[in-house]
Amino acid sequence: MSFERQPVLKGDIVELRPLRPDDFDALYAVAADPLIWEQHPASDRYQKDVFIGFFKDALESGGALIAIDAKTQEVIGSSRFHGLDEERSEVEIGWSFLARSRWGGDYNGEMKQLMLEHAFRYVNSVIFRIGPHNLRSQRSVEKLGAVRDGSRLDDDGRESYVYRIVGTDFLARSV
């Protein structure tokens, strides 16, 4: 069974579906907030010309999902499955962001829970690559049970901390 990189996933408060070209305006309306990106290595992603490249890459990745508030149907962010490594039985979840109006609640947790449950149908572990100064995202994945597992350089030569969740650990916590 091959990994489905753009599933439709529905929770109580978050729905995820494949990102489409016509989602640009609604997603950029969320991403245009500079505070979303202040701890991120690409802290200028709120600028439209920079976000255009991010959005194009997301579409081309074949793994991008748009996050929608299940009650209001408002676009609230996005995330992505990336870097499936069948030999290591691992996939990355990343490029995630949410509107600040959804911070501090259950939205990020449910979004990641849905994505992790989906991923563990296909792979044994999920990784998250997070910039060393992005403390918000580090704390967020730690709440999910991810453990720091070294660091890697990205394609631009920037260091990222690697956090890992193993499926058996995740499933034991979810019961």
d(CA 57, CA 127) in angstroms, rounded, equals 20
Q: Pick the closest to residue 18 from 82, 80, 106, 102 (CA basis).
A: 80
φ and ψ of 134, to 5 deg: -90, 75
What residues have CB less than 8 Å from 122, skipping those under 6 apart? 1, 2, 3, 4, 91
Enter the pTM of the model.
0.93
User: Using the 8-state DSSP alphabet, how is residue 72 labeled?
Assistant: T
Q: Pick the closest to residue 158 from 31, 36, 42 (CA basis).
A: 42
pLDDT at 171 over 80: no
Residues of the chain with pLDDT > 90, as a percent, come to 79
155 — pLDDT class (breaks 50, 70, 90): confident
Write out the CATH class of domain 9-123.
alpha beta
Query: If you average pLDDT over residues 64-81, what whole number do you get?
Result: 98
Indicate the pairing of strand 14-18 with strand 159-166: unpaired
